[in-house]
């Protein structure tokens, strides 16, 4: 008979042996262990370190960076405004200068001289460029009714001469009567059909002024001339030099 101690050892030894119908996973691969699917995926995937939460300071720095990127060139360099004047501004400035020159009565760059076969004339003492103001044909600005009366009066004295210039302005006929002897030089400029000056009307506050401008470049020493424009038979008979 087996003693109680021997039976206990056999029981303990028998409990460690596998059953006949039980297949041990460890027998085929002692290192293999069955893991759940989620556990296997987790084991093969490395977890990325978690980013620390954004702080207010980091958000502020990022916002400042965007602001700097979106800045314009004008934030760093001052905007240069064009100093170039418009055409209208230039024309207005030129008119203002001419108004002041005419109203001042200054007559520069010319002198009186005696011209052969003509008598008195005006010589340029400086160069004038084409389109430049030369002088005003200054005298009494009157309407045609008064002009005709004066002309009839002057005709009674042939030595008086004729210094009357008629023109149209705003559908009305005017005359500049420069017959009276003055120190203004415009009245002494002689006639030529090929002159180097031409007449032009210039308005100052609604009042027309008859001025002479250079029709081409004029050199110093040249006689100043312009076309009187009178082609009437009576005028040509009285003043044959109007033909030239």
Q: Which residue has the higher pLDDT, 126 or 65?
A: 126
For the cut 50, the answer to whether the pLDDT of residue 29 exceeds it is no
Q: What angle do CA 99, 86, 214 make, to 5 degrees?
A: 45
**Among 122, 128, 113, which residue's Cα sits nearest to residue 219?**
128
In this prediction, residue 21 carries a pLDDT of 47
The span from the CA of 191 to the CA of 101, in Å, is: 24
Looking at the whole model, is its pTM more than 0.85?
no
Kindly list the domain boundaries of the chain, sorted by start residue: 88-138+189-243, 140-181
The span from the CA of 213 to the CA of 197, in Å, is: 5
Phi, psi of 104, rounded to the nearest 5 degrees = -75, -25
Which segment of 109-113, 170-174, 237-241 scores lowest on mean pLDDT? 237-241
Per-residue HEC secondary structure of 171-209 comes to: CEEEEEECCCCCCCCHHHCEECCCCCEEEEEEEECCEEE
Q: What is the pLDDT of residues 178-232, one digit of tens each?
A: 999 999 999 999 999 899 999 999 999 999 999 999 999 999 999 999 998 776 6
Q: What is the maximal distance between C-alpha atoms in the chain? A: 189
Segment 58-78 shows an average pLDDT of 59
Q: What is the pLDDT of residues 91-133, one digit of tens each?
A: 899 999 999 999 999 999 999 999 988 889 999 999 999 999 9
In this prediction, residue 228 carries a pLDDT of 84
Q: Which residue has the higher pLDDT, 147 or 27?
A: 147
Which segment of 39-48, 68-77, 80-89 scores lowest on mean pLDDT? 39-48
- Paired strand residues for 223: 123
Q: Which residue has the higher pLDDT, 70 or 223?
A: 223
In this prediction, residue 134 carries a pLDDT of 97
**Residue 160 binned pLDDT confidence (cut-offs 50, 70, 90):** confident
- Across all residues in the chain, what is the average pLDDT? 78
Segment 15-24 shows an average pLDDT of 47
Segment 126-151 shows an average pLDDT of 96
Sign of CA dihedral 99, 104, 105, 106: negative
The span from the CA of 200 to the CA of 194, in Å, is: 16
**Among 143, 126, 148, which residue's Cα sits nearest to residue 135?**
126
**Lateral strand order in the sheet of 164-169:** 140-143, 172-177, 164-169
What superfamily in CATH does domain 88-138+189-243 come from? SET domain (2.170.270.10)
């Amino acid at each position: 008979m087996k003693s109680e101690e021997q039976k206990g050892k056999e029981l303990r030894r028998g409990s460690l042996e596998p059953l006949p119908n039980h297949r041990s996973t460890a027998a085929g691969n002692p290192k293999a262990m069955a893991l759940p699917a989620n556990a296997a995926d987790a084991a093969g995937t490395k977890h990325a370190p978690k980013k620390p939460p954004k702080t207010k300071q980091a958000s502020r720095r990022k916002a400042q960076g965007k602001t700097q990127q979106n800045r314009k060139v004008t934030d760093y360099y001052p905007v240069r405004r064009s100093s170039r004047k418009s055409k209208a501004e230039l024309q207005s400035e030129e008119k203002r200068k001419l108004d002041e020159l005419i109203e001042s009565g200054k007559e520069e760059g010319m002198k009186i001289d005696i011209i052969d076969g003509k008598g008195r004339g005006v010589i340029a003492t400086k160069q004038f460029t084409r389109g430049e103001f030369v002088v005003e044909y200054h005298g009494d600005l009157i309407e045609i009714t008064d002009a005709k009366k004066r002309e009839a009066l002057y005709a009674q004295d042939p030595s008086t001469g004729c210094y009357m210039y008629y023109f149209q302005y705003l559908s009305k006929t005017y005359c500049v009567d420069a017959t009276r002897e003055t120190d203004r030089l415009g009245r002494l400029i002689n006639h030529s059909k090929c002159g180097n000056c031409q007449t032009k009307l210039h308005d100052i506050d609604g009042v027309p002024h008859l001025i002479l401008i250079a029709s081409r470049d004029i050199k110093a020493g040249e006689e100043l001339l312009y076309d009187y424009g009178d082609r009437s038979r009576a005028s040509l008979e009285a003043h044959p030099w109007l033909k030239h």
